[in-house]
Structure 1
Amino acid sequence: MESSGSEAMIRLTGVGKTYDDGTVAVHELDLEIGRGELVVLVGPSGCGKSTTLKMINRLIEPTTGTIEINGEDVTTQDPVKLRRGIGYVIQQVGLFPHQKITANVMTVPLLYGESKATARERANHLLELVGLDPATYGDRYPHQLSGGQRQRVGVARALAADPPVLLMDEPFGAVDPVVRVRLQDEFLRLQRELGKTVVLVTHDIDEAVRMGDRVAIFATGGRLAQFATPAALLAHPADDFVADFVGSERGLRRLTVTPIDPAHLESLDGVSAGELGAAIDLDSTLEQALAAMLRDDKPMVGVKDGVRFVGVLTPNGVHRALRASLAD
C-alpha cells in the first residue's frame, strides 16, 4: 500500500465486496488517502470504483475489511449521521426540484440544527465560492439553471456542513467538454483554498491525471492495479493493463502533469525580444509551455517567477525535463 506521506484521513484495509450471486465487485483493497489529498479512482466499467466510493459512506456495506475515517471505523457509526458529515456529489446532482437554490444549499446545516440565518449566510458564501452570485441565482429553481450551474450548486451543497471528506462520483460527466474543463479548474481552485480530503470517481484517464494528487487505477474484478502520482503512473505503468488503460498517448499526457523545473531553463543572455512571446509562470506545466510556443509561433518561451524573469524554456529543455521525470 502506497502512502501519500501525510497523515491518513481515509484508510481501507482488506476491503472487499462480494454479492450474493458470487460476483466480486471489490477484491481485498488496501488504500490510504492523506489528509487534504485529492485521490481519483479510475478504471473501466464494472471495476468496483463506484462501489468503493459508496462503501466509504456506507451506501454499500463491505463484505470484508475495515474502513476508517480520521482513525474511526465507519462500521461502528450510525450510517445516517456518518453521511451527514461527508460531502457527496453525484453526476445527476440530486437537487430538490421544488426548492430554490439557496434552500437546497441550506438543507444540511438546517438538519444539524443551525439557525436559518446562519444556514443562509453559509449558503450564500458557498454559492459565491463556486462562482454563482447568490443575488442572481439564489431565488431560482434548479430547472432554471444550466447543467454546469446545477453541478456547481451540488458542490456547494456538499460543502455546506463543512465536511472533512468529500466523495464525488462522476461529478462532471453530464456536462459538455468545455464546461467540464471549467468546472474542473473551478474545483481545483476550491480544493487549494479549502484543503478537503477528496475521493473522486471517473472513467476518464485525462480527468484523472489532470485532477488527482494520486490516481488509483482499478482493473476488472475489483483489483487495484496501481496507485501512484499522475507523473509516476504515466512514466512507469505497473503492468500491461495499466499501460493499455492510460493509452499510447501517455507521453503527451505526461506534459500535462510535469511542472517546469528551473534546472531545465536556459539563460536570457543572447535571446532577442523577437524570439519570445508572452511569458508564462514558473508554476506552469510543460504542456502550457509548449502551447505558448505554438500559440505565439516562437522557438522558446520566457519563464517568470512573479515579476522576475528566470530564464527561457526551449523544446530541448522540455525533452530534458521529460527524460528527468522518467528517472524519478
Structure 2
Amino acid sequence: MNATAPSGEQAPTDDSSEAMIRLEGVGKRYADGTVAVQELDLEVAAGEVVCLVGPSGCGKSTTLKMINRLIEPTSGRIFIEGRDVMSENPVRLRRRIGYVIQQIGLFPHQKIATNVATVPSLVGTPRADARARALELLELVGLDPATYADRYPHQLSGGQQQRVGVARALAADPPVLLMDEPFAAVDPIVRARLQDEFLRLQGELGKTVVLVTHDIDEAVKMGDKVAVMAQGGHLAQFGTPAELLGHPADDFVADFVGSTAGLRRLTVTKLDRRHLEPLDGVSTGDLGAAIDLDSTLEHALAVLLRDDKPMVGVKDGAQFVGVLTPDGIHRALRASLSEHADPAEDPAVQR
C-alpha cells in the first residue's frame, strides 16, 4: 500500500521492488545517431556500492547522469525508491541525490562550511542548523572543523577538497550517492587514503552508491557489485568482484580485468576456518604476527611475506582458531574460484 506523499512530492509508483535504484532497458541515442548507452538493465540494492567500470566512451558517466536527469534517457525507465525519475521534478530529484564529481566544483568565493551547507540552505534549513550539519560532516570526513570550516577552497589540498566534496554531497542526508571518478584527480597515495576513508564512511552510513571509475582495481576495492560496460554502451557483465575476477563472462571482460585477476582475487577473498591448520604442535617461532579471521587473503599473504614465517596465527576476537600456511591460502583461493563456477564447466568443481 502506498503511503500519502508529503506535499510537493510524488508518491512511490512501484514499491514491489527491493532495489533502491532500478534501470529497465535504459538507452541514450543522440541526434547524430551515436548510441551512448543501449538497453541497460541494472539494479542497485539499498546500502550497496555498485561500480560502473569500462573503457572511455562506454557510457559510464552518461548512465550516472541519466539517473539524476542531468542527461535525459531516450528509452527505458529509471526508478529510485520505486519512483519513476521521469515523473519527478528534476530539481527536487537532484536535491535528494548526493553527487560527487572529479572536478569537485566547490564555490571558490565561499568558505568551506558554507560550501558544505549549500543544499540544506537551498531547501530552507535555518542557517545555524545548516552550519552545524556542515561542521558535523567535516569532522566525519576527517577535516577538523576548527581548522578548515572558515578556509577557502584554494587553501586546501586536492585530497582535502575532495573530502569537502563528499561532505557536501552528504549534507542533505540523501539515500543515494552518485560519484563520477571521485578520486581520479589526486595522486595514488592520497587516492588510496580517500578510498579507505570513503569505505569507512560507507560502513557507518550505508548509503546506496553508484560510482564510476575507469580503474578495475578501484572497482574491485570499492564495489559490492561491479558492472563492466563495453563500447557501444552495453553491459558486458554484472556481479560481485569475486565473480568478475574468477569467471569473466567473455573475452572482453577477461581482457579488461587483465592477467593479474588471480592476484586481485586475493583482495576480495576472506579467510575461512576450513582452510586453517590446527595450532597443535606449532612452535611460536614459526608464527608471524596474528591476523583476524575476517582478514583478506591479500592481508594474510602480506603478513607472511613481511615476517618471513611459514605460517600466521589467526584469531577470532581474542581467541586463536588456527594457523594459515601458504598452502591454505592456495586452497582458499581455489575454493573461491569454484564457488561461482558452473559445475559442468569447471574441472575444479567436478573434482
Question: TM-score when scaled to structure 2?
Answer: 0.91
Structure 2 counterpart of 1:145: 156
Structure 2 counterpart of 1:300: 311
Structure 1 counterpart of 2:181: 170
Q: Could you list the structure 1 runs, at least 4 aligned residues long, displaced by more than 3 angstroms after superposition.
A: none
1:156 aligns with one of 167, 170, 177 = 167
Per-residue Cα deviation, 1:175-225 (whole angstroms, up to 9, x for no partner): 110111110000001001001000000000000001100000000000100
2:39 aligned with 1:8: no
Per-residue Cα deviation, 1:268-305 (whole angstroms, up to 9, x for no partner): 11111111121111111000000001111111111111
Structure 2 counterpart of 1:319: 330
Structure 2 counterpart of 1:198: 209
Larger radius of gyration, structure 1 or 2? 2
Per-residue Cα deviation, 1:97-131 (whole angstroms, up to 9, x for no partner): 00111110011101111111111111111111100
* DSSP-derived class of the 2:289 partner: coil
AA of the residue aligned to 2:266: L
Cα-Cα RMSD: 0.8
Counterpart Cα distance in 2 of 1:281 and 1:142: 40
> What are the equivalent positions in structure 2 for 1:197-276 lying under 5 Å apart?
197-276=208-287
> What are the equivalent positions in structure 2 for 1:61-72 lying under 5 Å apart?
61-72=72-83
Counterpart Cα distance in 2 of 1:143 and 1:291: 39
Counterpart Cα distance in 2 of 1:7 and 1:257: 25
Counterpart Cα distance in 2 of 1:277 and 1:320: 20
Percent identity over the alignment? 80
* DSSP-derived class of the 2:79 partner: strand
AA of the residue aligned to 1:56: I
Structure 1 counterpart of 2:52: 41
Structure 2 counterpart of 1:21: 32
Question: TM-score when scaled to structure 1?
Answer: 0.98
Structure 1 counterpart of 2:290: 279
Counterpart Cα distance in 1 of 2:156 and 2:47: 31
Structure 2 counterpart of 1:3: none
Counterpart Cα distance in 1 of 2:137 and 2:194: 15
Counterpart Cα distance in 2 of 1:304 and 1:129: 30
Per-residue Cα deviation, 1:229-258 (whole angstroms, up to 9, x for no partner): 000100000000000000000000000000
Give how far 1:7 is off. Answer: 2.1
What runs of 5+ residues in structure 2 fail to find an aligned partner? 1-16, 340-351
2:65 aligns with one of 27, 51, 54 = 54
